[in-house]
Structure 1
């Protein structure tokens, strides 16, 4: 009977100590600790670590990078995650209570300019086609459909100079673009013929 009383007293003392220790940390700071809010013990992350990853992957938001670095503590692991997945998950809302968003002076100015540049380049890409990009407008009337891809691209011959190699590559690209255009026009004509009958 005496052992049971000792065990109960020991459990009660442990519970009181744990409650006192956890309430003391909340009262001293006024807020919960980052590990309690985030659900894991955050690693030490420097702004240089975030900037390193952000410079490699500028399309990933800094908060997503910082949150993953808080979990891993390793730039290489975070970079590998981005390479494997193509993205980093957004931090939970609790993250912003511990690490509030900070307005970066250079970052807000860059995305709109980059967005405008992307919009302009996407418009240019939509209006620009391969025929005009490779200046093949005069060659579109020439029809010489080859049957195999090897015949279309031609056999690559190693030229003596870099200029000759570049000209050979340009000519092979032009032949492949024209052959692809001819195949597309033939396919469209076939589809138009089958839909009209």
Structure 2
């Protein structure tokens, strides 16, 4: 049964686009435990548009565009972490921002991942600073015994950065998704097929 959690080294790096590409390539349903911010297209809506796969209702839909712990407080919502259990079956789960984003005042996404024990794919941008951010993310996950399936890079090719992160982090380098412009379902599927091997996700 194929199940992956997608996390990132930061917010706004293209994690949702990668989630859509992977879900589409593997024909897997998608689930976002917590959506913060509803004014623009949500991550779930983006994946439905870009991947054409079944999308499951979010565990929580918060109006305020902020870290889940703060968005919930502003919205007057109490997040029940026990209820944030991924649905059964094959699935792509996408976290919010980076692995150390707070879900509540006392729990981080990485702590949830440790509970779930679903293999995690780390998404990392290729720009300046990515080595530090990527290695810290990998270290934070490993310190909690979170299984890491590999790392996927997003953006223009930076061979040395990509290679050294995988080597020093001791994780599998899955590939790199370039900027897709225009971002359509067809173009995204082609970009993923050109840069990733489906066998790496078996």
Q: Name the TM-score, length of structure 2 as normaliser.
A: 0.19
Name the structure with the higher helix share: 1
Larger CA Rg, structure 1 vs 2: 1
**Per residue, is there more strand in 1 or in 2?**
2
Q: TM-score, normalised by structure 1?
A: 0.19
**Structure of higher RCO (CA pairs closer than 8 Å, 6+ residues apart):** 2
